[in-house]
Amino acid sequence: MNSNVIYMKDIVKSYKMGKNTLTVLKGISIKIEKGEFVAVLGPSGSGKSTLMNIIGCIDVADSGEYILSGQNIKAKNEDELAYIRNKEIGFIFQKFNLLSKYTAEHNVAFPLLLRGVEKKAAQEKARKVLEDVGLGDRIDHKPLELSGGQQQRVSVARALVGNPNILLADEPTGALDTKTGNEILDMFVELNNKGNTIVMITHDLEVAKRAGRIINVIDGEIVD
């Protein structure tokens, strides 16, 4: 049985810049298995953010093959991609991307409500996941009433709430001090030990070293 959650072969992505074409990804091939914790490491401008957008079905490759949890992404339309983003992938962002007017509980319940889960059930699940990330006493707090580390924990809870196949984290410690960043990375290791598949995008080698495997991206290509 194929245990790859992510299978990419010869992924190419270009952008038109005026009259010029900039090729950002130059034939990337990746396999990530269920239960892995993988860091995609590269400097600014290396193509790692474009790769993350394609992994997360936010963008689509120009050519190449991408199979996510057994589904051929190239064959999907925009509605199907939106459904996959909501169901298959839990996103964790550098700037948290929380809804400032709403409580931690509502922020975490939001992806479930988008899926059509009944409100009471979504709230119960949100509370449970917030307890799991150590914020059981903060469910009624709005983002601005929380520290950066607590906001990122809310963001992780929101990513976890729908039981996604992949947690996709974009520079998850980028807006945090070193101590708080290490606490978030400790949490990732713990989540991975429980069986969660994690793909983390970072420019920081020390952060990447916390993953089980590092994929180096330089100038749109994978280098050993």
Domain boundaries, the chain: 4-223
The CA-based angle 42-40-51, given to 5 degrees, is: 85
Strand order in the sheet with 213-218: 89-92, 166-170, 197-202, 37-41, 213-218, 221-223
CB 124 within 8 A of CB 113: no
In this prediction, residues 4-16 reach a mean pLDDT of: 94
- For 4-223, CATH gives 3.40.50.300
pLDDT at residue 50, rounded to an integer = 93
Under DSSP, the state recorded for 101 is: T
32 vs 7: CA distance, rounded Å: 7
Output the pTM of the full model. Answer: 0.92
Calculate what percentage of the chain has a pLDDT beyond 90. Answer: 77
What's the pLDDT tens digit per position in 69-118?
999 998 899 999 998 998 899 999 888 889 999 999 999 999 999 889 99
Identify the CA nearest to 212 among candidates 54, 43, 35: 35
CB 62 within 8 A of CB 14: yes
What's the pLDDT tens digit per position in 174-220?
888 889 899 899 989 999 999 999 999 999 999 999 999 999 999 99
158 vs 150: CA distance, rounded Å: 12
pLDDT at residue 2, rounded to an integer = 60
pLDDT at residue 1, rounded to an integer = 41
